Amino acid sequence: MAQGLIGTVGHSKNFDIDAPSLRKASPVIDLFPTRIICRRANCTPSRILLICTLSLAACSGPQSSLDPAGHAAEEIAEIFWWMTAGGIFIWIAVIALTVYAVRTPPESHSQRRTSYLIIGGGAVIPTVVLTVLLIYGLAPIPRLLAPAPEGSLKVFVSGEQWWWRIRYEMPQGETVVLANEIRLAVGEPVEFRLDSPDVIHSFWIPSLGGKIDMIPGRVTRLALTPTKTGVFRGACAEYCGTSHALMNFDVVVHEKEDFARWLAHQQTPALPSSAPGAARGEELFLANGCGACHMVRGTPANGVVGPDLTHIGSRLSIGAGTLPNEVEALVRWIGRTEHTKPGVLMPHFGMLPEEELRAMAVYLKGLK
């Protein structure tokens, strides 16, 4: 799973690759690419079969809309498969007719029969098929856009550059704030209320349902119901700036009791960690001004510009799904933020000695 969570780490490496060296390394990006690629890759039937199998393997996983774990995603996947089946059927019919037309001598059909074939095959059948597919594709939209039932859990998500501010609102009015991680109860509908302070993002949890834009000055809504427990991955689906591809989040779907326990824990302030060096890490965290941007409830750190770090140690990843939540990764993040997430607003603290960075990382990892 850790591998899945740190999947985007590879993106940061892309910044080191320049186009000329890529071309030099892969001369197949040239004229007649398909022919050259095929010749060099030695496309045998077994290799083509292997590629197809690997492509199908991508249909599952924590971020696949074809491996649904929610009501809306199930409906969308069903539409996809019917549309795909329809597309394959039409493709086969067109190819069969083309082969027939090439092999049949023109004089074997009368002018009248040919006209019927052209009008029928070129206008009537496509109109009927496309109308049926359009109606079938549009019919579920009212259900997919329907609000969650009255009394459902409300989660407010704000798309920041480039992370997610998450706020749970309880029925009694209390709130819980966290970042880059959403936890839900299986079978329980949830209403997301989405906005953004500056640029347009798009909120998407492919395993649970469709995507919806987060627009500055507006609140958009999305109701989802998870049907399976597990860890899924959400992403920003609208280009929003330099680190758009490094803006992800984890979605954990629990059994109801576990979810209630987690939510109750998130409401509590941070507990001091007993890990060696954590106390010194807290001193350094406060002395270096981290509390001006970050909140750690129960400590003097009360900033609201950056992500709330009260229980950061319990999250699955850091840097909005960019790195695994480990001490080493926290050291890298604090010391080299810009290298990990280009364009990030958080300044790097690489001027601090390694030992101090490590103490802060241990402190943060201890905030369970």
- Min dist. Cβ of residue 213 to ligand CUA (A): 10
Reference 297, options 318, 261, 262, 271; nearest CA is: 271
Measured from the CB atom, the residue of 79 and 199 that comes closer to ligand CUA is: 199
154 pairs with which residues across the strands?
169, 191
Which two structure tokens, joined as six digits, stand for 199? 């640029």
Q: Which is nearer to ligand CUA, 120 or 197 (CB)?
A: 197
At closest approach, how far in Å is the CB of 234 from ligand CUA?
11
Q: What is the CA radius of gyration of the chain?
A: 26
Q: Look at strands 212-214 and 201-204 and give their pairing.
A: antiparallel
Q: Which is nearer to ligand CUA, 246 or 270 (CB)?
A: 246
Report in angstroms how near the CB of residue 204 gets to ligand CUA at its nearest: 10
CB of 203 to ligand CUA, least distance (A): 9
Complex with ligand CUA: residue 163 or 363, whichever CB lies closer = 163
CB of 123 to ligand CUA, least distance (A): 41
Decide if 204 contacts 211 (C-beta within 8 A). yes
Nearer to ligand CUA, 200 or 279 (CB): 200
Among 141, 155, 140, 231, residue whose Cα is nearest residue 188: 155
Direct distance between the N- and C-terminal alpha carbons of the chain, in angstroms, rounded to an integer:
20
Which residues make up the interface to ligand CUA (CB under 6 A)?
159, 162, 201, 236, 238-240, 244, 247
Q: Least separation, in Å, of the C-beta of 195 and ligand CUA?
A: 13
Task: Check if the beta carbon of residue 162 is closer than 8 Å to that of residue 240.
Answer: yes
363: nearest Cα among 307, 299, 284, 246: 284
Q: Which is nearer to ligand CUA, 202 or 207 (CB)?
A: 202
Rounded Cα gap, residues 182 and 40, in angstroms: 45
